[in-house]
Amino acid sequence: MCLNRKDLGLLALRSAVGGVLIAHGTQKLFGWFGGGGLEGTTQAMDHMGFHPARESAMAAGLGEAGGGALLVVGLATPAAGAVVAGTMATAVAVHAPAGFFAMGGGYEYPAFLGATGLAIGLAGAGRYSLDHLTGHAFDRSWISALSFVASAAGAYAVVARRRHVVRLREERAAVEADEQDGSGLS
């Protein structure tokens, strides 16, 4: 059997990106690799304006760990890529105010992971995958289309909800500041 360089490259890319996502997801879910676990992630999600916070923490952890695991093994690759892209889109929304570069807290890193998940989901897992072994049972064009539409809609809804919560917090903080300064008195 002759190894196919393109498929071997896809396996290497899926393994690297999926492995990073698994590590990040298990930090959120279980506290592995120095992460905050579900409780710490819930607190962080609440602070960032994601509500309900616990469900958001679980969704982020499962999106990263689950999407990453599916990428590594190459199973349901369009859905896995869509999950990764959608999960990272919400992370991009959080980091966007800090600019592009990760060094300054920007969105460079989650954007790269999301774009890579998107590309793998569109390209497919290649020969060295469970998708190939199962005759692409979970890698159909309708699954791909449905996955990416659902992921985009879900990411949009989560980001819009977060923006709403953050805006309400800012308005509440402004009112409280006015009241403390005495400018709220007539």
CA distances from 107 to 31, 97, 111, 122 (A): 23, 9, 6, 22
pLDDT tens digits along 162-175: 999 999 999 999 99
- pTM over cut 0.85: yes
User: Using CA atoms, how far apart are residues 73 and 77, in angstroms rounded to an integer?
Assistant: 9
pLDDT tens digits along 28-63: 999 999 999 999 999 999 999 999 999 999 999 999
The residue among 124, 158, 168 whose CA lies nearest residue 7 is 124
pLDDT band at 181 (very low <50, low <70, confident <90, very high): confident
pLDDT band at 185 (very low <50, low <70, confident <90, very high): low
DSSP string, the chain: -PPPHHHHHHHHHHHHHHHHHHHHHHHHHH-GGG--HHHHHHHHHHHHT-SSHHHHHHHHHHHHHHHHHHHHHTSSHHHHHHHHHHHHHHHHHHHGGG-S-GGGT-SHHHHHHHHHHHHHHHH---SSSHHHHTTSTT--HHHHHHHHHHHHHHHHHHHHHHHHHHHHHHHHHHHHHHHHHTTT--
Q: Are 86 and 152 in contact (CB under 8 A)?
A: yes
pLDDT at 186 over 90: no
Q: Are 118 and 86 in contact (CB under 8 A)?
A: no
Side-chain half-sphere of 11: how many Cα atoms within 13 Å?
A: 12
Q: Are 78 and 121 in contact (CB under 8 A)?
A: yes
pLDDT at 183 over 90: no
135 backbone φψ class: left, alpha, beta (φ>0; ψ -120 to 50): left
